[in-house]
Amino acid sequence: MKQRLLTAIAAVAMVASPALAELTIVDTSYRTGPYAANGIPFSDGYQDYFTLLNERDGGIGGEMINLIECETGYNTEKGVECYEATKGEGTLVYQPLSTGITYQLIPKATADGIPLHTMGYGRTSAKAGEVFKWVFNYPANYWDGASLAITHLLEQNGGDLSGKKVALVYHNSAYGKEPIRTLQSLAEKHGYELMELPVDHPGQEQKSQWLQVRQQRPDYVIMWGWGVMNQVAIQEAVNIRFPMENFIGIWWSGSENDVKSAGAGADGYKALTFHNLGSDYPVYDDIQQYVVDTGNAAGAGDQIGSVLYNRGMYAAMLAAEAIKTAQEMHGVTAINAAQMRDGMENLEMTEEKMAALGLPNFGPEFKVSCENHGGNGFGAVSQWNAEAGEFDLITEYYQSDQEVIQPLVEEDSAAFAEENGIEPGC
């Protein structure tokens, strides 16, 4: 039985390996399970942008992009399986879209020499490029997010948060625990009281957490949620009539799927973002023309223009720009993973570049360097307008409190370097 199964697998694995294309990108997506509501739009955006480049420009620098999709279900075991199955294909970069899988892949990808781009998630201290040579988390990370949220609250309170109570409702995993240390440091600096409310995976049961919110009446609630947890939290907040404008989600808790189910009650809910929203950009005309109308749209094609679709597209755009940078640097079009890493490390996003791509004013300008793999930590606050059914930016892009974050990054990356015997250096 066992042997028969194994031979069957062997036969299939041999048949299954596709032909090597020049530029291989793996999309480790999740279109099933409790996180699918958020995984689908991101993956659609990520794939559609590469499809657009293939259809419109004939790939990047004349090299076609071979996109492989692998379903992880936000599950670490399946994520490892996906990574092992696809790393031999000459993959240029992984975008796991899961902090848990990122933690698995950091040592593996470093040993195999394949760059990881964990855009706005993953291990925050990967910003320290001298320690995490193969990991990038530009343009912003969780600690930036925590600081941005607090800065926003400071602005609303005239620069003084002392005596206020801030609750953190978080996914009880590596993802949700990331901001705690920053929020604690910021609590010391600004004098607010931090209240921690963990929610266990997958997050469908949050009655007791919101009962605590009701009893202890925090002035503000910050949320680190993902998947079904977002919808439930926002619904619960509506149920206890928590004022929505005092409820701020991280950028992973601010998409249409999360708020729509709560109806009109969710109006005024705020979420952070590190890129612009909506579909009012020239690139969307091209996506319509080259991707949707030709029938090549990923998934059901109904997510175009949503927050997470934009984010997936932004991730793909940054990857494509890194490929272009690498092609220019090394003078070859068919780059490999090591050259891709150089491209990512020398990536510079400017307003002219984004405008030329049909995405004017879409994200903050930033420049990656060997010391800084994490960008400059710019973000903005968006607010849900239930009537119009869209998130609108209500602030300009502003920077996180680097004074607090930089020492934390240095401390955590130094600890990682020591644990793993890494010699930091550029």
Partner 1 sequence: MFYREAGDFKTSYVADSQTFPIKFDRFRYYAVLLVAFAIVPFVINDYWVNAVFLPFLIYSIAAIGLNILVGYCGQVSLGTGGFMAVGAYACYKLMTGFPEVSIFFHVIISGGITAGVCVLFGLPSLRIKGFYLAVATLAAQFFLVWLFNRVGWFYNYSASGQINAPERTVLGVPITGAETAPWAAYLFCLVFTVVCALVARNMTRGMQGRQWMAIRDMDIAAEIIGVNPLKAKLSAFAVSGFFVGIAGALFFAVYLGAVEVGEVFGINKSFLVLFMVIIGGLGSIFGSFAGAAFLVLLPVLLKNVLVGGLGWPTDLAAHFEFIIVGGLIVIFLVAEPHGLAQLWRVAKEKLRLWPFPH
| Interface characters, 30-69, with partner 1 (x: CB under 8 A) | -xx---x---x----------------------------x
Tell me: cis bond preceding 198? Omega within 30 of 0 counts. Answer: no
Q: Which two tokens stand for residue 287?
A: 């996506």
Q: How far is CA 343 from CA 324, 373, 387, 424, in A?
A: 7, 12, 43, 20
Shortest spacing between CB 259 and partner 1, in angstroms: 24
Give the DSSP H or E segment for 165.
Answer: strand 165-171
Q: If we measure between CA atoms, which residue out of 366, 254, 392 comes closest to residue 311?
A: 254
Tell which positions 150-209 bind partner 1, by CB under 8 A.
172-174, 177-178, 180-181, 198, 200-201
> Which part of the chain contacts partner 1 (CB under 8 A), choosing from 26-34, 53-61, 228-236, 382-390?
26-34
Strands, E, within 75-125: which ranges? Answer: 91-94, 116-117
Please report how close the Cβ of residue 352 comes to partner 1 at its closest, in angstroms.
Answer: 37
Question: For residues 81 and 219, which CB has a smaller minimum distance to partner 1 in the complex?
Answer: 81
DSSP-assigned letters across all residues of 362-413: -S--EE--SSBSS---EEEEEEEETTTTEEEE-S--EE--HHHHHHHHHHHH
- Does the footprint of partner 1 cover residue 371 (CB under 8 A)? no
Q: Which H or E element spans position 144?
A: helix 142-156
Q: How far is the CB of 72 from partner 1 (least distance, A)?
A: 9
Peptide linkage before 360 cis (omega within 30 of 0): no
Q: Which sign does the torsion angle of CA 291, 344, 105, 364 carry? A: negative
| Residue 419 interacts with partner 1 (CB under 8 A): yes or no | yes
Which one among 24, 51, 75, 95 touches partner 1, defined by CB under 8 A?
A: 75
Structure tokens at 24: 């291989």
Site mask, partner 1, residues 87-116, x = CB under 8 A? xx----------xx--xx--xx-xx-----
CB of 200 vs partner 1, minimal distance in Å: 6
19 near partner 1, judged by CB under 8 A = no
Query: In whole angstroms, how far apart are CA 352 and each of 101, 359, 360?
Result: 34, 10, 8
- Which residue in 21, 64, 80, 386 binds partner 1 (CB under 8 A)? 80
Residues interacting with partner 1, by CB under 8 A? 1-3, 5-6, 8-9, 12-13, 15-18, 29, 31-32, 36, 40, 69-71, 73, 75-77, 80-81, 84-85, 87-88, 99-100, 103-104, 107-108, 110-111, 123-124, 172-174, 177-178, 180-181, 198, 200-201, 299, 412, 419-421
